[in-house]
Amino acid sequence: MWSVKDVYYISGSTGILAANYGQALISQFPEIAFNEKTFPFINSVGLAKKTMKKILEYAGARRPIVFTSLVDPKIRDVFDSTEVEFIDIFESRLSFMEDILECKALRIAGSSRQADTVMLRERVEAIHYCLEHDDGLKTNQYNQADVIILGVSRAGKTPVSVYLATQRGLKTANFPLTSEYLGIYKLPDNILPSRMKMIGLTTTPQFLSNIRDKRYPGSTYSSIATCREEIKQAEQIYQQYKIPSIHATGQSIEEVATQIVHELDLSNQKRFL
């Protein structure tokens, strides 16, 4: 087994796709240390040859792994050498897709960026919306939201909201379930018309207590009893209004966000940026 392996990401564009693909694969081998480097904008045979020379000089006889998203066959072939472990993330799959769709692929570097202007505008709008509707602000504009996250204080509403806005382009608001609402098991009337966009976050009393205690150590606010009661009240509100909820304990922000998209059936509304 290799203890160290050099990995290169070669692209005719930014290299983000090749790197994401390669990193997803090498992350499955945590016992190996990977030295990674990206070579973007390799758009000529001459530049490809210079890059390949650098790779081989550094690698010696260690056969580095080369991930490429190059679509120009002449440039791509420069890296398809017996001196490296060559992984083309496009060619075989593009040919397969061409057969399925009975249509020729563009085979143009960076063609996925053609919709970048529209997607960037959507992302910026979503980020602005998220920041302006954090922690219960401007509830009169909840009708414009794609997602409204409910939860008690420190349940993780804001980081998940920001992730959905920045990574998914979803206009996300979050509403805190404070004692004003928990005590009467009721949501304010003005946000109820947007109930179908709502989802609740819940967690364990111990986890919530630990988070709160870092900010207000030894307080009633962070006590297990308070956290247990607030979580119970919040979950009853979710049940009363038939709002789906997600148990966030032990999950990453990305995992929680993905579950929200799935639960509210938003997967076709916006694509990942």
Q: What is the pLDDT of residue 15?
A: 85
pTM above 0.75, yes or no: no
Q: What is the pLDDT of residue 122?
A: 84
Name the architecture of domain 4-109: 3-Layer(aba) Sandwich (3.40)
Rounded to 5°, angle at Cα 263 from 261 and 265:
65
Q: What is the pLDDT of residues 161-192, one digit of tens each?
A: 999 998 889 999 999 999 999 999 999 999 99
Helices (H) then strands (E): counts for the chain: 10, 8
The amino acid present at 173, given as its one-letter code, is: A
Q: What is the pLDDT of residue 118?
A: 63
Rounded to 5°, angle at Cα 22 from 18 and 27:
150
157, 253 Cβ separation under 8 angstroms: no
Q: Between these two residues, 188 and 72, which has the higher pLDDT value?
A: 188
Confidence class of residue 116 from pLDDT cuts 50, 70 and 90? Answer: low
Six token digits for residue 2: 């290799």
Per-residue pLDDT averaged across 10-34, rounded? 90
Domain residue ranges in the chain: 4-109, 115-263
Q: What is the pLDDT of residues 24-67, one digit of tens each?
A: 999 999 999 999 999 999 999 999 999 999 999 988 778 999 99
Identify which of 160, 163, 165 has the alpha carbon closest to the alpha carbon of residue 150. 160
25: enclosing H helix or E strand:
helix 16-26
Q: Between these two residues, 265 and 107, which has the higher pLDDT value?
A: 265
Q: What is the pLDDT of residue 272?
A: 41
Domains 4-109 and 115-263 share a fold: yes
Per-residue pLDDT averaged across 233-256, rounded? 96
Q: What is the pLDDT of residues 125-155, one digit of tens each?
A: 999 999 999 999 999 999 999 999 999 999 9
Q: 38-65 as b/e, with b when 16 or more CB fall inside 10 Å?
A: bbbebbeeeebeebbeebbeebeeebbb
Fold topology of 115-263: Rossmann fold (3.40.50)
